Structure formats: structure tokens, C-alpha cells
Amino acid sequence: MHENGAMPASDVVEQQEQPWNRRRLRSANERLLLDRLRAHGAASRAQLARETGLSKPTVSSALASLEAAGLVREAGTRAPERGRTAVLYAPDPAAGYALGVDIGRGWLRVAVADLDGTVVARADVRNRARASAALTDLVVTTAREVIADSGVDAAEVVHGVVGTPGVYDGEQRRVRYAMHLPGWGRAGLVDRIREELGVPLEVHNDANLAALGEYTYGVGAGSRLFAYILIGTGLGMGIVGEGRLFTGAHGLAGEIGFLPWQDRQQPERLEDAVSGVAVVEAARGFGMRGRLTAKAVFDAARQGHPAAARAVEVEAERIAHTVAAAAAVLDPDLVVLGGGVGHSVDLLLGPVRERLRALTPLRPRIAPSRLGADAVLLGAVATALDTARDRVFERRTAGT
Amino acid sequence: MHENGAMPASDVVEQQEQPWNRRRLRSANERLLLDRLRAHGAASRAQLARETGLSKPTVSSALASLEAAGLVREAGTRAPERGRTAVLYAPDPAAGYALGVDIGRGWLRVAVADLDGTVVARADVRNRARASAALTDLVVTTAREVIADSGVDAAEVVHGVVGTPGVYDGEQRRVRYAMHLPGWGRAGLVDRIREELGVPLEVHNDANLAALGEYTYGVGAGSRLFAYILIGTGLGMGIVGEGRLFTGAHGLAGEIGFLPWQDRQQPERLEDAVSGVAVVEAARGFGMRGRLTAKAVFDAARQGHPAAARAVEVEAERIAHTVAAAAAVLDPDLVVLGGGVGHSVDLLLGPVRERLRALTPLRPRIAPSRLGADAVLLGAVATALDTARDRVFERRTAGT
DNA sequence: GCCTCTAGTAAGGCTCCTTAACTTTATCGG
DNA sequence: CCGATAAAGTTAAGGAGCCTTACTAGAGGC
């Protein structure tokens, strides 16, 4: 189910098939401690011993190894009610860095984060590239600049994730179904970026990453299963269950642009009916004139313009249809609306909920995106961090 | 995501949080060997050592422990090209037994299987119960009979799984949304069965179990992600990814009866439009007369009856709509059609595929159920076996 | 009969965990 | 100010389980 772009993360299943010799035991316990520190924050050795069930000497020695490997560092002290003050340990965020890239139609965004997930450098650049070479160049130079800005040695950037519309086909080494990015479907582009940057890269669908971003940093935190609906130039959905992406058999899960949809009017594909363009078309249909954008229509609706208001109603109904279909198939506990319409979700939320009541008895919580335009970038960072943490651990403990 | 009915399987996540002391290492290696034997069949000690990466002495001693615990037994010999003949070991199927129950509207089916998955006893009984007490009694007495038939000591039946329409609500201790089973929604019924049988029980949705059945014993084997659509009195879908059930946030995933559906005609809910009853209604609408059943309509269509043929066409279109929605959201590599219409899938398959071409560019493989009416029962058995194997391993290795 | 090849066992050593006792350092109460 | 107490952390002894090496057991080829 985990359809990585390239450079797949170390295969968990195979690792579990490995036998349990002593070396793996040691490493498993070090890993246990490190994960605990990441999840619950700094802690003393005695505390870790109590919480993990390991003995105090074991914790001491494992922590010493982790510190020697640069994975963990002292982080202040804490005085208990009475007794000796405890020395606290915390993961060293500077043990490695991850790179996140969001290649969108209008903007290219790049960020570098440390292992704590703190973004240490970032750039947002207009994407005016109209050919594949220009785009790859832009990505490479921007990424280099951001890494330079961060003051981090390039070799410390352990892993990167690129978000893009469409789906990366690892065999043909190219992105498919990315209609809105000119030239971006050519083969070998990602390989070129990877080579020039010297960083292992994965490529993922932007809606999927946005979902992961909302899960890690946003409104999806703690959800058992939620769907992120990205409504912009295109239409996409990302699904996150138990903190992991649900990508389907071929990486096409959530391609809700393909949902069947027979309107009274023309549009045959749902994508054409829900995306930003459709709002404009609907507004025109109801009699609005002038140079319209989706944003303009929403703004007009907010001011009480009747044709715009009706266009928004139509859009809400279509979104409700999408949500209803997703709810019936997936049973999420949360649906997040994001993408280009993010700014206008306040207008849509009420009507969508109302239409939904008429469509289905299932009513998942519906919430606007908290991260807005940053969702994809932060999702890319979060995903890159996941494997970066593994890689750093492996690299640094292997040397010992 | 794993919404068990009750008596949840040992929580994997918590187990992974446990520290790795030597006892767990031993047990992990024994487990590794046992799983390998189950997956790839009988093997010698030397062979296991080569394949798992453990040393020969370790394999020998672990296998000796497993044999002493009754989990593994000698299973003949094999002579290599030259050299000493090897003694083969295989999992002992008689180390424990699992119980599967399928509570359907028309039939109650019960089976007992050994740890190899071989059904050792089975009964199919008409379900004429019209009240909750009668149904629970029928389940209990039938299960007792089957266990007695199998010649297995009741204490050796380690785990059971019950399949039913609807969804089990573990908090309220009752089955919800099971419209077609009179009285079956009352609270505490499952607890009563569990008590009277003295077997730990889980309850799962029938479509979900059917999907698992097709995955384990049927046409879904090896699929990365597939959906089983159960079309009978009701309409349901089970989703299996990487061999595990996908149940959604509240166990309602695949409740495609709730898919939005606006037909030119009346039915508002898809369930009413696709189920067996709907076929009959459609046939009547096209002018068929007499006492009709779904089966009768399909038979007539096979004979060339024009109204019946048109009713089947309509049904195919509705199924195609369902498949298209599932495909867009989930991206399965396989969709299995089963349930009451199972016998008539040959008639539907062609038209469904044809309609699908018009609806969406995504075209997962569509196949008829291989297990037919046994899918739910075998799925229940397979699910029960999963946890039964764990339980038996824990119980028998704990004593050592 | 001897060689070769594979299966399986025995002995010794290594790693890493645990238990238990001990040291260190803090607060509290007189 | 000093001993009692309590918590943090270390040291030392012991043990469980794995690996390596070296061996024995049994089957076939020459």
C-alpha cells in the first residue's frame, strides 16, 4: 500500500523477518528509548527506566551509547520533591535534517527542518517555469539556497520529500496525471533533482502530503482516520489512517476527480465540477460578468451578490456529494477542506453540512484546513522526517 | 482502525512498546520460526537456520521448546541430494481450534477449524428465528453440536468470530444497523452467547468477513487492496488491504448503502436501489408479472425475457456506479462481487464492465466471488484463526 | 572402505540484561 | 547543623540466550 516514489524507506516487513540476535536487541532498546523521548519529551534515566520497564543500568548504558552517537543530548535538570536532582535527556534535533518541497502551479515552496520538526529555513518562490528544464532548475537552486540559508551542512540533510500534483510512477520514473504543470510529466526529472542535490528523494501526491501535514501539525492531529479534500486548480483527496497514508493499490487512492457524477448540466467529471474553475463557470451561468476568479466570486458572495451566492451554493452541493461518497466508503471521523478554497471555507462550511444532512446519515466532522497553503509543504517535511529519523538512527548506530 | 467487537486481540502496538529483554528475544525467535513454518510449510532445522539467519543450535533449541509446548511436531523426513536425511518439522494443527459463525437472515452457519485452517466440523441450519432469544439459543446449540461433532475438547476452542449484518457496538454491547434480523439489535446478546459457549468472541460485519474470506481462501489472495461487494438482502462492502481489514474510524467503512445516489426515479438510498429487492422492483417496472424473486428475474433474463434483461441492465448500471465510487476513493486492484447475486454474476459482469468504461478511467479487475455463500463463514474462521494462533502461542509458551 | 556432503549436537565465549547493593545528592525535621 | 529519608544514578555479580567452532551422525558415490 505504501507506494513510494523512489528510494523506498527501509522495508519494515523485511526487517521484522530478521532474526533477533543480540545486536538487534541492543538497537531495539535504544530505539525504544529514543522514540519515548521524542513522544513524551525530555526525561531522566530513572524515569525512562520506570516507564519503559528496562532496568536502570540498561537505560544508563543505552543512553550513553545514544549520546556518543550524537542522537541524544543532556537537556537541563529537574529537581524531584526530594532527592538528588535528575539529569534530563532529549533527542538532539541537530542529528540530522529533512527537506520538504511543494511544487505547485503557482508557487514553489521549500523548507528544511531539524529532527524535532522545527523548520530552520524556508523559501516561497513564484513558479513561472513553463518548461521542464526551467522547473527542475528552479527546484534545485531554491533548495540549495534554503539549505545554505539554514547554515546546515548539505550532507546533514538526510532525506527529502517532494509534493506534486499527480502520481509518481517509480518504474517509468516520471510523474503522471499532472495536467496543470507544463512539462512536468517527462521522465527522469526527479532523478535529475536527486542527483544534483545529492539527497535521497521521495515523490508523493500533493493531496496526500497535505493530509499528512494536517495530521502532524494541524487539525487532523489525533484522528483515527481522516480525509483531506484539496480543492484548487484540481481536485484531490488524501487519506490518513493511524498516522499513515492510505495510498491504494497503485497510489491512486483519493483520486476523487474520477468520482461518477451526473449533474443536470454538462460536466461529466467531478473534478471539472468542483475545482476553482467550476465556481467561476457557475457564477457566469447565474449571470455574473467581468474578469472572474474563484476568489472574486467568493468575495462577491460574502458581500451578498445573489449570483455569486448561488454559485457558492452549487459548489457546496458538489462538495457535499464528494464528502458523502468518501464517508460511505471510508468512514472517516474527520473531513478537512483545504486548497485554494481554503480562504473561503467559512462560506462553504454551513451549506456543505446542510446538504450533507440530506444526502447521508453519516456525518463526519468537517473542518477547514488549519495550515492553509502550507499543508503540502509541511506534509512533505513531516514525511521526510519520518524516514530521516530512521536513516539517522541507522547511520549513527551502525558506526558504533 | 481495528474496531473489534469485544475481546480485542492482544494490542500489537502496546507489545511493541515493551522492552526487549532476553525472554522476549527467545519468544520472538520461536515466533519467527513458527510463522515461517506456517507460511512455507514443513522444513528441517538446517533449512530454517539458512532461511531465517539464525544459527543451527539456536534453531534446534527453539524448535525443541516449541515441540515441548505442543506447537510444533515432526512431520516426516526429506533426503537431500546427498548427505544425511533431514527431519522435517511442521506446526501442529491440533494445538488449538477456532470457531466461525455466520448469522445470516436465511441461514446460520457454524464451523470449527484447526490451526492449519482446515475445517474439521461444520453445520448449516435454516434460521427461522423470529426473536432474539430464539436466535441466540439456535446459535449456542448449533455451535455446541458442531464442537461435539468435531471431537475436539471445548476448552481447545480458543477463539471465535461471529459475522452478522450491521456493526457491533462494543460500548453498548449490541449490534446496530442490522435491520433484517428481527430482535438481533438487543443489547447483551453476544455476551450471552459468549458466556454460554465459554469461548472468547469477536463480532464483525458480514461483508468485512466475506472480504477476508475471499482474501484467505478465495479470489482475493495476493491482492494488495481489494473490495468485496456483498449484494443480497442488503448492500455492503468489505475492504482488505495488505491482508488486514480496513474498518474506518467507527467500523462503518464500506457501508456503501449510504452512497449518495440520485436516480431519475425514486430511490434515495443506494442500498434500496441495488439490493435483491430492487431487481424485482425494476423487473416489475418493466412489466414482469407474477411472484418474483431476484433469482427468478435473473433466470428469466438468461432465457431472453426482455423485461428481465432490462432489469438486469439497470442493476448492472447501479453496481457500476458503486464500483466507480469505490475505485475513485480507494484505488483497489480488485473488486469482487458476491452475496445473493453470486449465482448471477455471469450475467452482470459484462454489463458492469461496460458501464464502468463510461463512468471512470479507473478500471480495477472485477471478479465474481469464488466462495459464494461460504465467504462470510470462511472469513469468520480466518479471522478467528488469526487471534487463535496468537492466543495458543502465548498460552503454551507462557507455561514453559 | 574411504571420501564427500548434509544434518544435527556439544562446548565455550560473548553480549547484554537484571538484580542487588552501594554512592551521591537533595530535602526535611529537629 | 546533623542525621533520616528519598530519589538518582553507578558498580558488581549473575544469568539467559545467541553465535562460533568443532565435532558426531548418517547417506551416497567411487
CB atoms within 10 A of CB A312: 24
CB atoms within 10 A of CB A42: 19
CA of A56 to C1' of C19 (A): 11
Chain A residues lying within 8 Å of B237, measured CB to CB: 329
- Pick from A258, A329, A331: which is nearest to B360 by CB? A258
Distance CA B234, CA B294 (A): 13
Distance CA A152, CA A145 (A): 11
Host H or E run for residue A10: none
For A147, residues 6+ apart whose C-beta sits below 8 A from its C-beta are A99, A112, A121, A154, A157
What mean pLDDT, rounded, does chain A reach? 87
**A249 at interface of B, judged by CB pairs closer than 8 A:** yes
Chain A residues lying within 8 Å of B359, measured CB to CB: 260
Q: Where in chain A does DSSP place strands (E)?
A: 43-44, 72-78, 86-91, 97-103, 107-114, 119-126, 157-164, 167-169, 174-176, 201-205, 225-231, 235-241, 244-245, 334-338, 365-368
The model's pLDDT over A124-142, given as tens digits with 9 standing for 90+, comes to 999 998 888 999 999 999 9
Distance CA A339, CA A266 (A): 24
Q: Pinpoint the alpha helices (H) of chain B.
A: 12-17, 22-40, 45-52, 56-68, 132-150, 189-197, 206-217, 270-274, 276-285, 294-302, 306-330, 345-359, 375-398
Assess contact for B112 and B150: CB atoms under 8 A.
Answer: yes
Inter-chain touch A28–B17, beta carbons under 8 Å: no
B56 nearest nt, CA–C1': C8
Can you tell me which residue has its alpha carbon closest to the C1' of nucleotide C18? Answer: A55
Q: Taking the CA of residue B267 as centre, how many other CA atoms within 13 Å lie in the half-sphere pointing to its CB?
A: 19
Range B327-342 average pLDDT: 89
Chain A residues lying within 8 Å of B262, measured CB to CB: 262
Residue of A15, A61, A169, A329 to mutate when probing chain B, most B C-beta within 10 A: A329
Range A293-319 average pLDDT: 86
Nearest to A216, CA basis, from A140, A100, A97, A117: A117
Provide Rg for chain B, Cα atoms. 24
The SS3 of residue A182 is: coil
The model's pLDDT over B17-61, given as tens digits with 9 standing for 90+, comes to 677 777 888 899 999 999 999 999 999 999 999 999 999 999 999
Residue B198 DSSP class: T
pLDDT at residue A400 greater than cutoff 60 = no
For B303, residues 6+ apart whose C-beta sits below 8 A from its C-beta are none
Confidence (pLDDT) at A274: 59
- Least CA distance to A36: which residue of chain B? B17
Compute the C-alpha angle A73/A75/A76, nearest 5°.
Answer: 145
Range A309-331 average pLDDT: 89
- How many residues are given for chain B? 400
Distance CA A209, CA A380 (A): 6
Cell of A290: 467581468
Largest CA distance in chain B: 77
Distance CA A171, CA A187 (A): 10
Query: First CA to last CA across chain B, in angstroms?
Result: 34
B74-113 residues touching A, CB cutoff 8 A: none
pLDDT at residue A2 greater than cutoff 50 = no
For A380, residues 6+ apart whose C-beta sits below 8 A from its C-beta are A100, A101, A102, A111, A161, A162, A163, A204, A209, A213
Inter-chain touch B359–A53, beta carbons under 8 Å: no
Residue of A331, A334, A336 to mutate when probing chain B, most B C-beta within 10 A: A331
Give phi and psi for B106, each to the nearest 5: -95, -35
Nearest to A157, CA basis, from A99, A206, A92, A102: A99
**A321 at interface of B, judged by CB pairs closer than 8 A:** yes
Distance CA B259, CA A386 (A): 35
pLDDT at residue B8 greater than cutoff 70 = no
Using CA atoms, how far residue A180 sits from A133, A175, A380, B106, in Å, is 16, 12, 20, 53
B53 nearest nt, CA–C1': D19
Can you tell me which residue has its alpha carbon closest to the C1' of nucleotide C11? Answer: B57
The model's pLDDT over A51-83, given as tens digits with 9 standing for 90+, comes to 999 999 999 999 999 999 999 999 999 988 888
**B54 at interface of A, judged by CB pairs closer than 8 A:** yes
The model's pLDDT over A166-215, given as tens digits with 9 standing for 90+, comes to 889 888 999 988 777 888 888 889 999 999 999 999 999 999 999 999 99
**A336 at interface of B, judged by CB pairs closer than 8 A:** no
Chain A residues lying within 8 Å of B333, measured CB to CB: 249-250
Inter-chain touch B250–A333, beta carbons under 8 Å: yes
Is the Cα dihedral A127, A131, A136, A141 positive or negative? negative
Distance CA B303, CA B309 (A): 9
The model's pLDDT over A201-212, given as tens digits with 9 standing for 90+, comes to 999 999 999 999
Inter-chain touch B326–A329, beta carbons under 8 Å: yes
**B237 at interface of A, judged by CB pairs closer than 8 A:** yes
A61 nearest nt, CA–C1': C16
Cell of B113: 477449524
Distance in Å, alpha carbon of A64 to nearest chain B alpha carbon: 17
Assess contact for A100 and A377: CB atoms under 8 A.
Answer: yes
Residue A374 DSSP class: G
Nearest to B10, CA basis, from B398, B394, B318: B394
**B317 at interface of A, judged by CB pairs closer than 8 A:** no
Phi-psi region of B41 (alpha: psi -120 to 50; beta: other; left: phi over 0): left
CB atoms within 10 A of CB A47: 18
B23 nearest nt, CA–C1': D16
Residue of B12, B26, B329 to mutate when probing chain A, most A C-beta within 10 A: B329
CB atoms within 10 A of CB A105: 17
CA of B54 to C1' of D18 (A): 9
In chain A, % helix, strand, coil (3-state, to 5) comes to 50, 20, 30
Confidence (pLDDT) at B149: 96
- Least CA distance to A251: which residue of chain B? B331
Provide DSSP, B116-132.
TS-EEEEEEEE----SH
Inter-chain touch B224–A252, beta carbons under 8 Å: no
pLDDT at residue A359 greater than cutoff 70 = yes
Q: Which nucleotides of C are covered by protein (CB under 7 A)?
A: 4-12, 14-21, 24-28
CA of A50 to C1' of C30 (A): 34
Host H or E run for residue B75: strand B72-78
Percentage with pLDDT > 70 across chain A: 90
Confidence (pLDDT) at B274: 58
Can you tell me which residue has its alpha carbon closest to the C1' of nucleotide D28? Answer: B82
- Pick from B1, B28, B333: which is nearest to A225 by CB? B1
CB atoms within 10 A of CB B197: 19
Cβ burial A354-375 (10 Å sphere, 16+ → b, else e): ebbeebbebebebbbbbbebbb
Q: What is the 3-state secondary structure (H, E, C) of B286-320?
A: CCCCCCCCHHHHHHHHHCCCHHHHHHHHHHHHHHH
Percentage with pLDDT > 70 across chain B: 90
CB atoms within 10 A of CB A259: 25
Query: First CA to last CA across chain A, in angstroms?
Result: 34
Q: Which nucleotides of D are covered by protein (CB under 7 A)?
A: 5-13, 15-22, 25-29
Inter-chain touch B324–A1, beta carbons under 8 Å: no
pLDDT at residue B269 greater than cutoff 70 = no
B58 nearest nt, CA–C1': D18
CA of A85 to C1' of D6 (A): 12
Range B301-310 average pLDDT: 87
pLDDT band of B98, cuts 50, 70, 90:
very high
> Which of B14 and A192 is assigned the larger pLDDT?
A192
Distance CA A142, CA B306 (A): 66
Range B104-109 average pLDDT: 91
Distance CA A203, CA A206 (A): 9
The pTM score is: 0.86
Cell of A202: 521521495
Distance CA B34, CA B93 (A): 12
Query: Given the C-alpha cell 536502570, which residue does it identify?
Result: A56
CA dihedral B30, B32, B35, B40 (to 10 degrees): -120
Residue B269 DSSP class: B
pLDDT at residue A4 greater than cutoff 50 = no
What mean pLDDT, rounded, does chain B reach? 87
